[in-house]
Amino acid sequence: MNTPLTEDATKQSLFPSRNPLHLTIGILFITTLLVTLGNLIFPETSAFHVSDYTVSLLGKYLCYALLALAVDLVWGYCGILSLGHGAFFTLGGYAMGMYLMRQIGDRGVYGNPELPDFMVFLNLTELPWFWAGSDSIVWMVCMVFLGPGLLAFIFGSLAFRSRVSGVYLSIMTQAMTYALMLAFFRNEMGFGGNNGLTDFKEIFGFSLQSPNTKLGLFIATAVILALAYCLCHFIVKSKMGRVVTAIRDAESRVRFVGYKPEHYKVWIFVVSAMLAGLAGALYVPQVGIINPGEFSPLNSIEMVIWVAVGGRNSLYGAIIGAILVSYAKTRFTAIMPEAWLFALGGLFVLVTLLLPKGIAGLMSSIKQKFSKTPTTTQANS
Amino acid sequence: MHRIFSLLLLLSISGQGYAITTDLADDASPKLSLVVNQLPKTKLRNMASLIEQISQSQEPQTRDILQFMLDGELYFLKANKQVVRAQNTATKLYQLTDVLTEQSLFEVKKSSISKIKTNNRLRSTLRSIIAKIDLTNKNKQVRLQAVQQLLSSPSKASTAIITELIGNEQDQDVQALMSTTLSLQQLKTGDIDEKIAALTQLSGSLEPTVKNEIIRLLANLPDKELSTKQQNLRELLSSTLDEIESQASFYGAVETVFFGLSLGSVLLLAAIGLAITFGVMGVINMAHGEMIMLGAYTTYVIQLAFPSMIEYSLLIAVPAAFIVSGSVGILIERGVIRFLKGRPLETLLATFGISLILQQLVRTIFSPLNRQVISPEWMSGSWQINPIFSLTFNRLYIIIFSIFVFISLLTILKKTSLGLHVRAVSQNRDMARALSIKSNRVDAITFGLGSGIAGVAGVVLSQLTNVGPNLGQAYIIDSFLVVVFGGVGNLWGTLVAAMSLGLTNKFLEPLTGSVLANIIVLVGLVLFIQKRPKGLFPQKGRSTD
């Protein structure tokens, strides 16, 4: 079997005999099981008890992990450094938020069964056209994928066809999310302006306040993350994925060989945007709010650092990075809030200078040192 | 007779007039203190003549006293009948000022002072007397302001004053404004013939009051059964109005251009440092915005350190900010960026980390709140070109300054040996090294230069916006877009891009509002870059990725 050069790092991971796919899914499954048991069976006084707060926090981390997977897919495997993935994430979040907003029904402050509170507040008499159908689950699921996917398709096909790449593309994606942030801050957009969408009551008929719903959302996120991981793994291993990797390493050569790199790039960009949108949709019911602040360029860059810390080039690295950095953020902001930006900034500098392959790369090099086996880097036989 | 009588009274009360009586005898204008001190005792109906006497004294305080009286701030102490100015303070007490010596006295309760009463007729007399005093003032600005005052509240009395004084007026501007006032009065009160005559006089006048009066007259004309004269008047009125409005829209456009250019200069200043580090060196520096922020904070610190030299603070701040930001830039280059050569995406991430650290550093040292940077006297105010059009000095200076910075940078790059080295390294690093150019040293200096100029931009921005930790972030995306739009490695392109972005933004703003204008410009730029990835003025070359 041909082993592509870039798969080397994943193959030579801590457990060389095991497939990282099985390992990751296994760990994810066990964690989810333990958390569920800890939350449901053990009483609050027990040391094994997992509080509701922890459950929703973990759920949030898993959303971030899914998002990191999306970023890794384009950056690690296709070399497109997107500084605008926050836009796709937030758009997916808004699609879910709109659905949840409509589920409030007449329980809002103004008690209008048709219109969400902020529209009544803005003196609207009927739903704007783009809110039509937003109370159906099918519409919501479609929009979670369609919104980010369409934006990514338009943006990607414009950018990649005119061969905008590298730093220019990064800055343009940043400009894109910045423009969206400015736009969504306006009340006239019809998405709640500054305050965004919030005060959700229930999802699919389950109250969002109840601990069981929170646990359910956590489990759902874990399952979806596992599925997404399988999907990404499949994409990366497929023939298409290998063309994509080749584009990352030598775009001109791929073009000369006869492929159309822009098609592959658009395709992987759209898939990644949809995954990011899905992450956003899972994120919103767990935190209970979506507002334009999520579009801010800083958020998008934080996603990139998750992947950088975990190690681009490896899918499980992205998940590790997202969870670790988010955990560090939670701890830091609780203990000494001022220090967080110092830590994050330092992380950026140190990781790029000292750990260019991230934690995953570090693990594989440690593994290599211990086993003292020379790496078999055969590109093609 | 009346004067002597009241004088006697005064002497018997205050006893301070002995020496003055002799003065009074041989001087035609009455001594101010004497007449003023009569105010408390004078009946309302005799007040007019007393005011007349006060106005005839040539003392510098005369005008102020009359103004205080008009404003109802003139009181006298019940105890000794001393005339004072009383101002209500926050503590419900009245702060007293001696009107003659202009010295601050003590604070008293309302009950111990009594107001010097006036009525409507007196007030209008006071107004015209004050106007007259101002109109004969030596200072041209005071005279202009006085005429403006009369123009905005025309009356018969004011017409009389102006007719009296217009002949003596030497200054052309004041005279023109005076005749506008007369014509306006004529337009208001005259018959149809006079109105038509006044209108021909007024055509081309941009005073808002004139425009309002024309609109009022037009509205008051009957719709039907106009006489020929009325017909004429109406045509004349509407043609004059059209002329005024076309002039106004012309000046409006000029003003928008001015605003656009000033926004463009700010963008130019913010982006030109980046045009060097990113454009010429090819190093992407996400901490560029923070270099701007450091410059702004340097200005703040300098004003804090030398509070007595606010007027010169900007002149000190420009080199200081250049040095501060420049050395931080060199540190970043030596400490981080040089290890990431040839890895643009990593450079982007690392410098972004640095920008976060710098922001937080500033937040820890100076607190997250915005800091107030004072504008020196010479930066404030505006250059009034005509009644509806003025240029503010700060924007004017910023345009001039940014062009100055641009030209000096261009000179450095084109005429100095450093510039030669920079261009050589940016075009072909290996060949430059082979020709014994120390590329590392050139890199550091170039980066320092770009960062230093960002610091200078910060000094300018401190005059326009709030100085806070997020100052840089607001400009980083715009700066990148300007550089990319103009074409990387091309300073002229940066100039054109900055100015055209500024102008587009300001022309869109009235149509769409500022936020939407921002969004439209951003989206337009993104689309433009898709079409022409190398910007407006692409660098010619044969290299490929």
Per-residue model confidence as pLDDT tens digits over A339-365: 888 888 888 888 888 887 888 888 888
Residue A377 resides in a domain: no
Residue A381 has pLDDT above 70, yes or no: no
CB distance B501 to A136 below 8 Å: no
Optimal mutation site among B347, B529, B534, B545, interface A, most CBs of chain A within 10 A? B529
State the pLDDT at residue A153. Answer: 94
Interface check A120 vs B, CB under 8 A: no
Residue A229 resides in a domain: yes
Residues of A in contact with B340 (CB under 8 A): 352-353
Are B99 and B145 within one domain?
no
Residue B414 resides in a domain: yes
Residue A213 has pLDDT above 70, yes or no: yes
Domain enclosing residue A50, as ranges: 5-371
- H/E element, B13: helix B2-14
Residue B545 resides in a domain: no
**Å between A371 CA and nearest CA of chain B:** 31
Distance, CA of A198 to CA of A210 (rounded, Å): 17
Q: Which residues contact B455 (CB under 8 A, 6 or more apart)?
A: B291, B292, B294, B295, B298, B321, B322, B323, B324, B325, B326
What's the pLDDT tens digit per position in A104-134?
A: 877 777 777 777 878 877 777 777 888 877 7
Size of interface A-B (CB pairs under 8 A): 114
Reference A357, options A319, A323, A318; nearest CA is A318
Residue A83 resides in a domain: yes
Are B165 and B260 within one domain?
no
DSSP character at residue B539:
P
Are B365 and B500 within one domain?
yes
Q: How confident is the model at residue A16 (pLDDT cuts 50, 70, 90)?
A: very low
- Which amino acid, A33? L
Residue B342: helix, strand or coil by DSSP? coil
Instruction: For A188, name the nearest residue in chain B, comparing CA atoms only.
Output: B516
- Which amino acid, B471? L
Interface check A172 vs B, CB under 8 A: yes
User: b/e per residue, B481-495, with b = 16+ CB within 10 A?
Assistant: bbbbbbbbbbbebbb
CB distance A78 to A254 below 8 Å: no
**Å between B499 CA and nearest CA of chain A:** 19
For residue B414, give the CATH number of its domain: 1.10.3470
Domain enclosing residue B152, as ranges: 140-202
Interface check A349 vs B, CB under 8 A: yes
**Å between A340 CA and nearest CA of chain B:** 9
Are B362 and B259 within one domain?
yes
What's the pLDDT tens digit per position in A294-331?
A: 898 888 888 888 888 888 888 888 898 999 889 888 88
Higher pLDDT among residues B299 and A24, named by residue: B299
Distance, CA of B197 to CA of B202 (rounded, Å): 9
Residues of A in contact with B352 (CB under 8 A): 301, 345, 348
Distance, CA of A32 to CA of A48 (rounded, Å): 14
Distance, CA of A173 to CA of A154 (rounded, Å): 12
State the pLDDT at residue A18. Answer: 57
Task: Give the one of A171, A186, A341 whose C-beta lies nearest to B515's C-beta.
Answer: A186
In order, the DSSP letters of A185-209 are: HSGGGSS-GGG-EE---EETTEETT
Residue B231 resides in a domain: no
Across chain A, mean pLDDT equals 82
Q: How confident is the model at residue A377 (pLDDT cuts 50, 70, 90)?
A: very low
Task: Give the one of A182, A349, A353 whose C-beta lies nearest to B518's C-beta.
Answer: A182
Are B447 and B506 within one domain?
yes
Are B365 and B497 within one domain?
yes
Based on the structure, what is the number of domains in chain B? 3
Please indicate whether, in this complex, the C-beta atoms of B522 and A297 are within 8 angstroms of each other: no
Phi-psi sector, A192: left (phi>0), alpha (psi -120 to 50), beta: left
Q: pTM of this prediction?
A: 0.74
Based on the structure, what is the number of domains in chain A? 1
Residues of B in contact with A159 (CB under 8 A): 530
Please indicate whether, in this complex, the C-beta atoms of A305 and B349 are within 8 angstroms of each other: yes
Optimal mutation site among A151, A262, A341, A347, interface B, most CBs of chain B within 10 A? A341
The domain boundary residue, chosen from B202, B217, B233:
B202
Residue A380 resides in a domain: no
Interface check B530 vs A, CB under 8 A: yes
Residues of B in contact with A167 (CB under 8 A): 284, 344-345, 348
CB contact residues (below 8 A), chain B span 442-501, against chain A: 477, 480-481, 484
Residue B75: helix, strand or coil by DSSP? strand
What's the pLDDT tens digit per position in A39-85?
A: 777 777 777 777 778 888 888 999 999 999 999 999 989 888 888 89
Distance, CA of B289 to CA of B291 (rounded, Å): 5
Residue B225 resides in a domain: no
Residue B384 resides in a domain: no
State the pLDDT at residue B540. Answer: 64
Residue B53 resides in a domain: yes
Distance, CA of B70 to CA of B73 (rounded, Å): 8
**Å between A203 CA and nearest CA of chain B:** 34
**Å between B484 CA and nearest CA of chain A:** 8
Are B319 and B445 within one domain?
yes
Are B346 and B480 within one domain?
yes
Interface check B543 vs A, CB under 8 A: no
Residue A272 resides in a domain: yes
**Å between B272 CA and nearest CA of chain A:** 17
Are B111 and B144 within one domain?
no
**Residue B279 tokens, joined:** 């454009």
Residue B209 resides in a domain: no
**Residue A178 tokens, joined:** 């910045």
**Å between A348 CA and nearest CA of chain B:** 5
Residues in chain B: 545
Residue A381 resides in a domain: no
Are B52 and B148 within one domain?
no
Q: Which of A11-25, A239-253, B40-54, B164-178 is least confident? A: A11-25
State the pLDDT at residue B544. Answer: 46
- H/E element, A165: none
Q: How confident is the model at residue A378 (pLDDT cuts 50, 70, 90)?
A: very low
Instruction: For A250, name the nearest residue in chain B, comparing CA atoms only.
Output: B545
Optimal mutation site among A71, A163, A172, interface B, most CBs of chain B within 10 A? A172
Reference B38, options B47, B29, B28; nearest CA is B47
What ipTM did this prediction achieve?
A: 0.77
Residues of B in contact with A186 (CB under 8 A): 515-516
In order, the DSSP letters of B88-121 are: E-TTS-EEEEETTT--EEEEE-GGGEEEPP--HH
What's the pLDDT tens digit per position in B339-375?
A: 888 787 788 888 888 998 998 899 888 888 888 888 8
Task: Give the one of B339, B352, B523 whose C-beta lies nearest to A353's C-beta.
Answer: B339
Are B401 and B493 within one domain?
yes
Are B112 and B159 within one domain?
no
pLDDT 10s per residue in chain B (545 long)? 555 555 454 444 444 444 444 444 444 455 777 777 777 777 777 777 777 777 777 777 777 777 787 777 788 877 777 777 887 777 777 777 777 777 777 777 777 787 777 777 777 777 777 777 777 777 777 777 777 777 777 677 777 777 777 777 777 777 777 777 777 777 777 777 777 777 777 776 777 777 777 777 777 777 666 677 777 777 777 888 888 888 888 888 888 898 899 889 989 988 988 888 876 677 788 889 999 999 999 999 998 888 887 888 888 899 999 999 999 999 999 988 888 887 877 888 888 889 989 988 998 888 888 888 888 878 777 787 777 778 888 888 899 999 999 999 999 988 998 888 888 888 788 888 899 888 888 889 989 999 999 999 999 888 888 888 888 887 887 888 888 888 777 788 889 999 998 898 888 888 877 778 878 887 888 788 777 777 777 766 555 44
Long-range own/partner contacts, residues A347-350 (CB < 8 A, 24 or more apart): A347/A305, A347/A309, A347/B353, A348/A305, A348/A308, A348/B349, A348/B350, A348/B352, A348/B353, A348/B354, A348/B356, A349/B336, A349/B350, A349/B353, A349/B354, A349/B357
Using CA atoms, how far residue A3 sits from A235, A237, B85, in Å, is 15, 10, 96
Residue B444 resides in a domain: yes
CB distance A323 to A68 below 8 Å: no
Please indicate whether, in this complex, the C-beta atoms of A164 and B529 are within 8 angstroms of each other: yes
**Å between B402 CA and nearest CA of chain A:** 25
Please indicate whether, in this complex, the C-beta atoms of A348 and B352 are within 8 angstroms of each other: yes
Using CA atoms, how far residue A44 sits from A51, A153, A216, B387, in Å, is 7, 48, 19, 76
